[in-house]
Amino acid sequence: MSKSIFINLLRFFVLVFIQVFLLKNMTLYNLSTPFLYILFILLLPFEIPNVLLFVLAFITGLTIDAFYDTPGLHASACVILALVRIFFISVTVQKDGFDNEPEPTLSNKGLRWFSTYVITLTLVHHFFLFLIESFSISGLPYIIGRFLLSSLFTVFLILITGLIFFRKKERK
């Protein structure tokens, strides 16, 4: 268990560091900004208690808010992401069970499930993030453009990251 805590703590610091010092200034025409830090929430173990998941999502979002000068924006989007993660996993994974698979990774669940998981949760996170950020319907085409392009960029980075760290399961 302590190995899992260490890995997730290391993952948190690495992803926040990459987000703040590398991806913060990486925008494409002020329309697309990748938010790779949500990978921390996505890769938390299946059996994590819901209360702890919400607390970790809030802390992750609050940490990003501190560096982006957006008080509460990322924190609220991360809490919504955690809520949707709970529903998504309860609907899709309960049937198969996750006794032998402690985390929702590409190597554990396969490309089809993992890509559906990442796309769905990224779309939800980004939709609420940009909707809360604008807090207006007047610039709806701009919001939708930012939402779609940022989601595409983020999903691409998450899937590339998953493929880089992909370990084939050992067949028994």
Q: What is the pLDDT of residue 14?
A: 94
8 Å CB contact between 154 and 26: no
Phi, psi of 32 (to 5 degrees): -125, 120
8 Å CB contact between 124 and 80: yes
Amino acid at 168: K
The kind and range of the H/E element at 130 are: helix 111-134
8 Å CB contact between 107 and 168: yes
What ranges do the domains of the chain cover?
A: 2-164
Write down the pTM of the prediction: 0.88
> Which residue ranges of the chain lie beneath pLDDT 70?
1-2, 94-101, 167-172
Q: What is the pLDDT of residue 171?
A: 40
Q: What is the pLDDT of residue 142?
A: 84
8 Å CB contact between 38 and 81: yes
Query: Rounded to an integer, what distance in angstroms lies between the CA atom of residue 89 and that of residue 147?
Result: 23
- Tens digits of per-residue pLDDT, 41-81? 999 988 899 999 999 999 999 999 999 999 999 999 999 99
Query: Rounded to an integer, what distance in angstroms lies between the CA atom of residue 35 and that of residue 76?
Result: 14
Q: How many residues does the chain have?
A: 172
